[in-house]
Amino acid sequence: MTAIVDYGVGNLFSLRSSLEAIGETPRVTSDPEEIRRAERVLLPGVGAFADAAEKLRRSGMDEAVRETAAAGKPLMGICLGMQMLFEKSLEYGEHAGLGLLKGTVRPIREILREKGADPEGRLKIPQMGWNALRIRRESPLLRYIREGDCVYFVHSYAADGCGDSLIADTEYGAYLTACAGRERIFGCQFHPEKSGPVGLKILKAFVEMKA
Amino acid sequence: MITKRIIPCLDVRDGRVVKGVNFQGLGDVDSPVSLARKYSDSGADELVFYDITASAEGRALFTDILTETARQVFIPLTVGGGIHRVEDFERVLKCGADKVSVNSGAIRDPSLIGKAAKKYGDQCVVLSVDVKRVNGEFRVFARGGRDDTGLEALEWIRRGVGDGAGEVVVNSIDTDGVKQGFDLEMLERVCEVAKVPVIASGGAGKIEDFLTLFHTIPGVDAGLAASIFHFGEVRIRDLKQRMKEDGIPVRI
């Protein structure tokens, strides 16, 4: 059984529907016990980092998510849910993440400035729309995906300094982290549930994974 | 590089897709759910659903259609029409919409954009504007293009974006339905004031109109059209292939 963590941030209708479309019946839950019983866990989310991290912690589901990862069960964060897997976020202050992946979540504008990209600030933030994936290393999550496949992004922050956990990136003035992971822990900055057939293939690869 | 989006628009009344010329002479076209699937399969980057029904029955039918579409189509869905209060955002978001577009609702209550953006995030709020030239200025029209609000369009857009609209759809009433190309002059001015994605609407008649749009106004992020897609005058797959050949970044 695949569990979708419901901690009150964002709409889970599309994620649930997209899993159903590939033949998986997910359990949308706010119960830490149910997350512990799941074979694999999806951590979605949109909105502000600090608020979401607080809600996850208050619900007790942060521990259940950590245990999922520690038990070697597949775990995937999407968008803000992905950002929460990293060590910390610099969105309005400094906030600790779950620390499951190496890296820091930083404003896209700052990352671009540091890389000397878009000096005149012409690029629109958030990055909103379809952009191509550049695959940096092989991963079971992307086994049905080809270099250059497009996925749908909506984000103003991106993970930086991911080191070996970087799986794929995307060019928006400079290369930004699109997909990261290690072992059975994965994160997608884009929305696979809104990325058409390519997105469904990523979800399919994920639900096929076992501990 | 981020791609330019192609967005078919489905005007839905009483559960069917309709499209007219200059907002009038509406004619029945197709079932919204099957059309949405067809567009998604042929490469549409996003879909816009406009609810043009006035009755409560029509509205309920619309949310049913939206729910069914969101169950089957996995690209971003924007919903507009009948969005007057923050509660209307809730109503369509829970049926699977990703973005909600406000038009007359924001004219009636200018605080709506700010309130919705605060609750659901800027990325969720789309300002849709029907614009027509009146006495040499760009004027905002309400009620499906029937009423001149007296508001100057560029100032209205600047204000909406300042309040939190994360995207702007600009529909030129002057070029809508005429099929002689997008309103490049108007779009250029809008791109100067809006630092969020701009979606061009009104006037596309053939593939070349989209190529001209993206080559001439680099600030435009997406092209929206309805009848030319519904009636098969422009096929999305052909359009995107031509964009690619023409060096415009596009998702194939």
pLDDT in tens, A48-88: 899 999 999 999 999 999 999 999 999 999 999 999 999 99
ipTM score: 0.94
Per-residue pLDDT tens digits for B131-160: 999 999 999 999 878 899 999 999 999 999
Q: Which two tokens stand for residue B238?
A: 């052909």
**Hey, which residues does A45 pair with through a beta bridge?**
none
Q: Say if residue B24's pLDDT is above 50.
A: no
Contact B197 A193 (CB under 8 A): no
The model's confidence at residue A35, banded by pLDDT at 50, 70 and 90, is: very high
Q: Say if residue B25's pLDDT is above 70.
A: no
For the ranges A96-100, A192-196, B59-63, B193-197, the lowest mean pLDDT is seen at B59-63
Q: pTM, whole model, 2 decimals?
A: 0.95
Contact B1 A199 (CB under 8 A): no
The model's confidence at residue B26, banded by pLDDT at 50, 70 and 90, is: very low
- In chain A, % of residues over pLDDT 70: 100
Coil, strand or helix: which one is B106? helix
* Alpha carbon distance B27, B158 (integer Å): 35
Question: What is the spatial order of strands in the sheet that A174-182 belongs to?
Answer: A27-29, A2-5, A40-43, A75-78, A185-188, A174-182, A166-172, A134-135
Residues 6+ apart with CB under 8 A from A75: A40, A41, A42, A43, A65, A68, A69, A85, A100, A184, A185, A186
Which of B74, B98, B122 lies closest to A200 in CB terms? B74
Mean pLDDT for all residues in chain A: 96
Confidence (pLDDT) at B23: 39
Q: Which chain B residues are Cβ-neighbours of A18 within 8 angstroms?
A: 74
Query: For A30-58, what is the mean pLDDT?
Result: 94
CA-closest candidate to residue B80, choices B94, B67, B99: B99
Q: Would you tell me which residues 109-168 of chain A have a C-beta closer than 8 angstroms to some C-beta of chain B?
A: 124, 126-132, 150, 152-154
Distance to chain B for A135, nearest Cα, Å: 14
For the ranges B28-37, B107-116, B132-141, the lowest mean pLDDT is seen at B28-37
Query: For B31-41, what is the mean pLDDT?
Result: 91
Contact A128 B167 (CB under 8 A): yes
Q: Which chain A residues are Cβ-neighbours of B37 within 8 angstroms?
A: none
Distances (CA, A) of B111 to B85, B164, B165, B190: 10, 10, 11, 21
Determine the residue type at B27: G
Distances (CA, A) of B146 to B104, B132, B149, B178: 11, 10, 9, 17
Rounded CA Rg of chain B: 17
**Hey, which residues does B128 pair with through a beta bridge?**
B169
Contact B5 A126 (CB under 8 A): no
Per-residue pLDDT tens digits for A113-159: 999 999 988 899 999 999 999 999 999 999 999 999 999 999 999 99
Nearest 10 degrees: Cα torsion B198, B88, A195, B225: -50
Nearest 10 degrees: Cα torsion A101, A177, A130, A192: -10
Query: For B168-184, what is the mean pLDDT?
Result: 95
Confidence (pLDDT) at B231: 84
Which of B40, B95, B121 lies closest to A196 in CB terms? B40
Contact A124 B94 (CB under 8 A): no
Q: Which two tokens stand for residue B239?
A: 């359009």
Query: For A193-205, what is the mean pLDDT?
Result: 98
Query: For B233-238, what is the mean pLDDT?
Result: 96
Per-residue pLDDT tens digits for B186-233: 999 999 999 999 999 999 999 999 999 999 999 999 999 998 998 889
A8 contacts chain B (CB < 8 A): no
Q: Say if residue B19's pLDDT is above 70.
A: no
Distance to chain B for A197, nearest Cα, Å: 8
Confidence (pLDDT) at B29: 54
Coil, strand or helix: which one is B20? strand
Q: Say if residue A192's pLDDT is above 90.
A: yes
Contact B70 A13 (CB under 8 A): yes
Per-residue pLDDT tens digits for B40-96: 999 999 999 999 886 777 888 899 999 999 999 999 999 999 899 999 999 999 999
Distance to chain B for A1, nearest Cα, Å: 20
Distance to chain A for B98, nearest Cα, Å: 8
